[in-house]
């Protein structure tokens, strides 16, 4: 029996079976959670399909108002959400609190947006209008690193444009999504929002479902490929936000002491489990030793602990599978370079890994070429910034990237030539609901957020009238 309920057709319901959710800081049972069946997923899609035309027929103002109410009720329970997020995801309570606040702000942003008719031509012979219609039922598939915020990337823009939604959280972090479902049940008409949990076995069914018009997916590149294949049968719209192996390039004119803290947090936030984290740090040879030492000092000083402990900066990895995977990357780091901070799993219950800095590694080493998605930062030396840029761009992934220099013009020129969806100058990991978010190359297809992201939840339709 579980205290949590899925949301299907306006009803909060038990799963046909249950599954365990583990607290990553203790490796102990946190909660028993509903596990949806294929039939329950189909019922959720059917409810969303049935509700869609009525929802789209409501005025934009009504849909916006409902989203505002959702933001209000989320914010009125923000402490409960933050605590549950730390319990299920592992991140420090400060980061969980920030994630809940961001989720509220993202919902509020889209509660002021909407698709409007654009007049392209008006006479003398014809009037051409561009309409943006809802797609229908949207499937939102969520990973475990930002279980609440990534719902707030998808649900609000889908709903404000008149779609209905079936959310499928990650099996290891379903609880905050289910808590959000309780709020959605009070705010939206039955079927407009549905939340179905699984044990990693319903994502394929949702992606292939003939009554789902679009999949908005965030997760690994490998799973993204499967979504694309499953969506092909019905020519579904897809947005894929996939893996990243972001490079940061540090030019010789920066002061290592002043940039080290920002580089450190860009790499180690959420224990490195951030798609946009700095995962390859290219540092000019003139400042290489000093910057390596400063980052190592920050890593050695960082407080790694249960997210509820006062002062905890880095929590555990989110799940055992990722913990084992990152231990493999630690072995690669020791084999390829010189580990100057951290380097091992911490001997305590839970999935804790010491923040690890590895120097004297280069492109071609697995620790550099493959996304680690954990608290390990490889630092690569370069002499020519053009060469560093070429190496940064050689990755098949292209999510984000940054260039750091006192010479903003030079850094902007280099950053503008990164093959990525999001490039920064003298910062990393800065984003907001009004700024398009997405990746180049195998980091994804399409954008989320901003006007570009909103448009992806609509079908552009031309209305051409003879005058």
Could you say whether residue 320 binds ligand NAD (CB under 6 A)?
no
- Total site size for ligand NAD, rule CB under 6 A: 29
In the complex, minimum distance from the CB of residue 441 to ligand NAD, in angstroms, rounded to a whole number: 12
User: Coil, helix or strand for 96?
Assistant: helix
Among 15, 156, 174, 219, binds ligand NAD (CB under 6 A): 219
Could you say whether residue 88 binds ligand NAD (CB under 6 A)?
no
Among 275, 304, 339, 357, binds ligand NAD (CB under 6 A): 275
Among 65, 226, 320, 348, binds ligand NAD (CB under 6 A): 226
Angle between helices 256-268 and 288-301 (to 10 degrees): 50
Among 161, 164, 207, 405, binds ligand NAD (CB under 6 A): 207
Alpha carbon of residue 281 to chain centroid: 21
Q: How far apart are CA 349 and CA 40, in angstroms?
A: 35
Separation of first and last alpha carbons in the chain: 65
**Choosing from 33, 88, 95, 275, which is the catalytic residue?**
275
Angle between helices 60-76 and 175-187 (to 10 degrees): 130
Q: How far apart are CA 44 and CA 55, in angstroms?
A: 16
Beta bridge partners of 118: 130
Nearer CB in complex with ligand NAD: 137/298: 137
Dmax of the chain from CA atoms?
77
Could you say whether residue 174 binds ligand NAD (CB under 6 A)?
no
Determine if the peptide bond prior to 444 is cis (ω within 30°): no
Nearer CB in complex with ligand NAD: 200/461: 200
Nearest to 313 by CA among 373, 248, 265, 369: 265
* Backbone phi, psi, residue 237, to 5°: -70, 140
Q: Has 241 been annotated as catalytic? A: yes
Query: CA-based angle 140:145:147, to the nearest 5?
Result: 45
Among 113, 223, 356, 372, binds ligand NAD (CB under 6 A): 223
In the complex, minimum distance from the CB of residue 210 to ligand NAD, in angstroms, rounded to a whole number: 16
| Exposed / middle / buried, residue 62 (Cβ in 10 Å: 0-12, 13-18, 19+) | exposed
Among 15, 104, 439, 450, binds ligand NAD (CB under 6 A): 439
Contact 183, 70 (CB under 8 A): yes
Nearer CB in complex with ligand NAD: 104/421: 421
Helix ranges (H only) for 305-364 are 320-336
Could you say whether residue 145 binds ligand NAD (CB under 6 A)?
yes
Query: CA-based angle 44:48:53, to the nearest 5?
Result: 165
In the complex, minimum distance from the CB of residue 266 to ligand NAD, in angstroms, rounded to a whole number: 15
Q: Which residues inside 321-350 make contact with ligand NAD, applying CB under 6 A?
A: none
Among 92, 143, 181, 453, binds ligand NAD (CB under 6 A): 143
Q: In the complex, which residue's CB is closest to ligand NAD?
A: 203
Could you say whether residue 139 binds ligand NAD (CB under 6 A)?
no
Q: Which residues inside 232-251 make contact with ligand NAD, applying CB under 6 A?
A: 241-244
Hey, which residues are catalytic here?
Answer: 241, 275
Interface positions with ligand NAD (CB under 6 A)? 141-145, 168, 170-171, 200, 203-204, 207, 218-220, 223, 226-227, 241-244, 275, 371, 373, 399, 439, 443-444
């Amino acid at each position: 029996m579980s205290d949590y309920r899925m949301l299907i057709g306006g009803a909060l319901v038990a799963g046909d079976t249950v599954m365990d959710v583990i607290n990553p800081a203790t490796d102990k049972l946190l909660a028993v959670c509903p596990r949806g069946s294929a039939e329950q997923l189909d019922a959720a899609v059917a409810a969303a399909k049935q509700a869609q035309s009525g929802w789209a027929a409501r005025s934009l103002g009504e849909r916006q108002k409902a989203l505002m109410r959702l933001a209000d009720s989320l914010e009125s329970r923000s402490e409960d959400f933050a605590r549950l997020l730390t319990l299920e995801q592992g991140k420090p309570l400060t980061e969980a609190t920030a994630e809940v606040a961001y989720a509220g702000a993202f919902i509020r942003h889209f509660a002021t947006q909407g698709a409007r008719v654009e007049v392209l031509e008006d006479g003398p012979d014809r009037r051409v209008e561009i309409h943006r219609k809802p797609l229908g039922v949207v499937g939102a598939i969520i990973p475990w690193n930002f279980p609440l915020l990534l719902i707030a990337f998808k649900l609000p823009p889908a709903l404000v444009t008149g779609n209905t939604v079936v959310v499928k959280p990650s099996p290891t972090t379903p609880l905050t999504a289910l808590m959000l479902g309780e709020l959605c049940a009070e705010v939206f008409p039955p079927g407009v929002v549905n939340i179905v949990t699984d044990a990693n076995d319903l994502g394929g069914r949702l992606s292939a479902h003939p009554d789902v018009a679009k999949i908005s997916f965030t997760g690994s590149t490998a799973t993204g490929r499967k979504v694309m294949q499953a969506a092909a049968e019905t020519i579904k719209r897809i947005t894929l936000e996939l893996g990243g192996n972001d490079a940061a390039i540090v030019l010789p004119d920066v002061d290592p002491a002043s940039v080290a803290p920002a580089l450190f947090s860009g790499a180690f936030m959420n224990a490195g489990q951030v798609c946009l984290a700095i995962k390859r740090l290219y540092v000019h040879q003139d400042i290489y030793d000093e910057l390596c030492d400063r980052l190592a000092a920050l890593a050695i000083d960082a407080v790694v602990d249960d997210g509820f402990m006062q002062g905890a900066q880095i929590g555990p990895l989110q799940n055992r599978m990722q913990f084992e995977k990152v231990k493999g990357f630690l072995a690669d780091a020791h084999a390829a370079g010189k580990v100057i901070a951290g380097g091992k799993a911490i001997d305590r219950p839970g999935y804790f890994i010491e923040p690890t800095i590895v120097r004297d590694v280069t492109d071609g080493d697995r620790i550099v070429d493959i996304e680690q998605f954990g608290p390990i930062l490889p630092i690569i030396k370069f002499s020519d910034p053009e060469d560093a840029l070429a190496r940064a761009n050689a990755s098949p992934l292209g999510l984000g990237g940054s260039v750091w220099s006192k010479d903003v013009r030079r850094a902007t020129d280099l950053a503008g030539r990164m093959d990525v969806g999001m490039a920064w100058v003298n910062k990393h990991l800065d984003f907001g609901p009004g700024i398009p978010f997405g990746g180049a190359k195998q980091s994804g297809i399409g954008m989320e957020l901003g006007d570009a992201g909103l448009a992806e939840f609509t079908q552009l339709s031309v209305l051409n009238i003879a005058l």
